[in-house]
Amino acid sequence: MLPYGRQSIDQSDIDAVTAVLSGDWLTTGPQVTAFEADLAAVTGAACTVVSNGTAALHTAYAAAGIGPGDVVLMPPMTFVATAATAIARGATVRFCDIDPRTATIDPNAAAALVDDATRAVVCVDYAGHPGDYDRLREVTDAHDVTLVSDAAHAIGSLYKGRPVGSLADLTTFSFFPTKNLTTAEGGAVAALDASHHTRAQRFRTHGLIRDPRQLRDSDEGGWHQEVAELGLNYRLPDVLCALGRSQLSRLDSFKARRARLFERYGVGLAGLPGVGLPARHGDVDPLWHLYAIRVHDGRRREVYERMRAAGIGVQVNYLPVYWHPVFADAGYRRGLCPEAEAFYGEQLSLPLYADLGDADQDRVIETLWTILG
Ligand SMILES: *Cc1c(COP(=O)(O)O)cnc(C)c1O
């Protein structure tokens, strides 16, 4: 089965990992700080690496001080973790509809929903296409709320020439194998504000403070470390940070290959009846994570099944978050975000990854023409 997404691992990645495996550190060591510095150069903000993208969201919400009584506004067209981690902080999630052209949060809808209880607005850079950050910033500035970006899809993407990571107060990344780069499991939090960054660094390691100048009991002894705000163990091991650094050095080639495949899909599928192809705003330069088409006329399920039967591992991203039974049981009703629900009803992700060859991609295109042409 041709997958919809998969990692690209070459000899340089393998060499980077084996070099660290036989060294002194397996977990927190010099590769962690080096990977964080490399990420800062790509994202334009101070970075904290963590054990996965879900941990990154949890850490970002904690760094923003989100807790019980706070409302976090987010689009439902995302992976359930965007909401689950806000709820894990004790917050209430409110869903905001999407702009159907990009499947990212609609800034006008967000402006209409933000109120005094809102503590954060989350933008999910769906498929790698950045949301409209300038418009979202107007909304969050007017209400003094934190702008968070779930950029699990979008490391390496640009918005008006600025890198994802430098656009929101806090930005999270995932390095799961299907994403734009991988550390097997891994993630990161980029923070523009120094106090957010310090809080994220502490949250990753139990909230522990070691710096003598920051201690409340500075006279306890050389062994002393203390916790002022609770954290968890969300560390990313040195071995995986070495893989991350190697992968990051290949990011430009990943971006170029994915852009080329995106373009080839556009040419190969032009004129195919009954489908909508992904749109791109003129002011963004995405590192495309998904190739998300819309299959009209109620034929998405049929196309999904016939593609899978042909050995092509298409995928659907995503079930609107509040359609999951756990949200339905909590009182969220269908119909809340009509654009997101309509998008879900037609969405299909075609195979897209750096190592996808032209011949395999041509087979995807030909199979779609056979079904719908
Ligand atoms: C993958 C993903 C996550 C979770 O990342 P993990 O590394 O799998 O924990 C969160 N949000 C979105 C939009 C994702 O695609």
How far is the C-alpha of 177 from the C-alpha of 305, rounded, in Å? 24
Could you tell me the distance, in angstroms and rounded to a whole number, from the CA of residue 358 to the centre of ligand 1?
28
3-class SS of residue 364: helix
Q: How far are the Cα atoms of 109, 171, 205, 346 from residue 95, in angstroms, in the given order?
A: 10, 19, 31, 20
pTM above 0.85, yes or no: yes
Ligand 1 atom at minimum distance from 55 CA: 9
CA gap 350, 338 in Å, rounded? 24
What would the DSSP string read from start to end of 81-149? HHHHHHHHTT-EEEE--EETTTTEE-HHHHHHH--TTEEEEEEE-GGG----HHHHHHHHHHHT-EEEE
The number of the ligand 1 atom at minimal distance from the alpha carbon of 176 is: 7
Selection from 336, 331, 304, 305 nearest residue 320 by Cα: 336
What is the DSSP code string of 211-223?
-GGG-SSTTS-TT
Tokens standing for residue 215: 């201690």
Measured CA to CA, the distance from residue 317 to residue 288 in angstroms comes to 14
Q: Is 234 in the pocket of ligand 1 (CB under 6 A)?
A: no
> 85 C-alpha to center of ligand 1: Å?
11
Q: What is the rounded distance in angstroms from the CA atom of residue 344 to the CA atom of residue 216?
A: 51
pLDDT score recorded for residue 218: 82
- The full DSSP string for 254-296 is HHHHHHHHHHHHHHHHTT-TTEEPPP--TTEE-----EEEEE-
Compute, in angstroms, the gap from residue 210 CA to the centroid of ligand 1: 31
What is the amino acid identity at position 220?
Answer: E
Q: Which atom of ligand 1 is nearest to the CA of 126?
A: 13
* Contact assessment for residue 346 and residue 80, using Cβ atoms and an 8 Å cutoff: no
pLDDT of residue 122: 99
Q: Is the CB of 278 under 6 A from ligand 1?
A: no
Among 4, 6, 49, 54, say which to mutate for ligand 1: greatest number of ligand atoms within 8 Å of CB: 54
Ligand 1 atom at minimal distance to the Cα of residue 175: 7
Is the CB of 75 inside a 6 Å radius of any atom of ligand 1?
A: no
Token pair for residue 324?
A: 């999951």
- Ligand 1 centroid–CA 40 distance in Å is 20
Cβ of 173 less than 6 Å from ligand 1: no
Measured by CA distance, the residue closest to atom 7 of ligand 1 is: 53
| Alpha-carbon gap, residue 189 to 79, rounded angstroms | 17
User: Rounded to 5 degrees, what angle do the CA atoms 34, 38, 39 make?
Assistant: 115
Ligand 1 atom closest to the CA of 52, numbered from 1: 7
Extract the tokens encoding 279. 């749109």
pLDDT of residue 217: 86
Domains of the chain, with CATH numbers?
11-248 (3.40.640.10), 251-372 (3.90.1150.10)
Are 95 and 321 a contacting pair, CB within 8 Å? yes
Protein residue with its CA nearest to atom 3 in ligand 1: 53
Task: Give the residue, out of 105, 172, 174, 178, with the most ligand 1 atoms within 8 A of its beta carbon, to mutate for a pocket test.
Answer: 174
251 to 22, 301, 363: CA distances (angstroms): 26, 34, 26
Q: What is the rounded CA–CA span in Å between residue 198 and residue 210? A: 12
53 in contact with ligand 1, CB cutoff 6 A: yes
Beta-bridge partner residues of 50: 187
The pLDDT profile of the chain, 373 residues, written as one tens digit per residue, is: 999 999 999 999 999 999 999 999 999 999 999 999 999 999 999 999 999 999 999 999 999 999 999 999 999 999 999 999 999 999 999 999 999 999 999 999 999 999 999 999 999 999 999 999 999 999 999 999 999 999 999 999 999 999 999 999 999 999 999 999 999 999 999 999 999 999 999 999 999 999 989 999 888 999 999 999 999 999 999 999 999 999 999 999 999 999 999 999 999 999 999 999 999 999 999 999 999 999 999 999 999 999 999 999 999 999 999 999 999 999 999 999 999 999 999 999 999 999 999 999 999 999 999 999 9
With a 6 Å cutoff on the Cβ, whether 245 touches ligand 1 is: no
Omega into 318 within 30° of 0, i.e. cis?
Answer: yes
Q: Quick check: CB of 176 below 6 Å from ligand 1? A: yes
Give me the residue label for tokens 């296409």. Answer: 129
**Residue 145, φ and ψ in degrees, nearest 5:** -115, 160
Extract the tokens encoding 209: 């403070």
